[in-house]
Structure formats: C-alpha cells, structure tokens
Amino acid sequence: MEREFICIICPNGCRIKVEYEGTNIKNIKGDECPKGKYYVKNEITNPLRVFTGSVLVESGDFSLVSVKTLSPIPKKYLKKVGEITRRIKVDAPVEIGQVVARNLLDNNIDLIATRKIEKKKSLLS
C-alpha cells in the first residue's frame, strides 16, 4: 500500500511518501529527520496525539486552566478525554506540570496543567 503522510511533529510538515504492508514499512521518502519515520510508524500502527484542552478551576484568577496529556495518547481516545475534561474541576493555585487527573479511561492517561493559576485575590485583603 502507498500513502502520503504529512508529519505533524514539527512545523516543517514533511510530506512523507510511504510504501507499506500491514505495519511493515517497505520504502519511505521525504522524511527530513528521524522523527518522520517514527511518526509514520505510529500512524500505521497506532496513531498518537497529545490531547490539549482545559478544565474548570475553583477560586482561581482565571476560571479555566489549560491542560495536556503527559504523553501522546491513541487518537481514538481524544474525544473521550475531551468529554471527561468538561467534568473535572481543580482548586487554585495550580502550577505548570501539576497533575490534574490520573489514569483516565483506565489507560494511564494523565493530564497535567500547562498554565499557572493563582488564587483569586480577595478585594478585602
């Protein structure tokens, strides 16, 4: 089978032409760095993506904190993780890298914060 992939690893967006059978790459062209082959390998076996979204924050200086999965997750879980994030709420303050949810979908999917949220300052203090 022959297919062209657009690599999403970096903004170069290499167009990679691949000839493969099942999950076995027979010929690969257009990958300008080693990440390209790794990306294609994943695409034909188990496509992975980093999920990014946001969850509610209680008493923070912003009402939402942005989050991402600690590592790329199978593409098929993206929408399900999106549904879950709509129900999660965390308390301020939140630090970048702080784990806000663990083991989603029983699949070792952890969400970490990508934004620093401080506690809302009281006008009286």
Binding site for other proteins (CB under 8 A): 6-8, 10-11, 13, 15, 49-54, 56, 62-64, 66, 68, 75, 78-79, 81-83, 86, 96, 114-116
CB of 71 to other proteins, least distance (A): 11
Cα separation values, 88 from 3, 32, 43, 57, 72, Å? 39, 40, 30, 9, 20
| Minimum separation from the CB atom of position 27 to other proteins (A) | 19
Task: Report CA dihedral (11, 53, 65, 96) to the nearest 10 degrees.
Answer: -50
25 vs 78, beta carbon nearer other proteins: 78
Please report how close the Cβ of residue 124 comes to other proteins at its closest, in angstroms: 18
Chain centroid, CA 61 distance in Å: 25
The one-character DSSP state at 81 is H
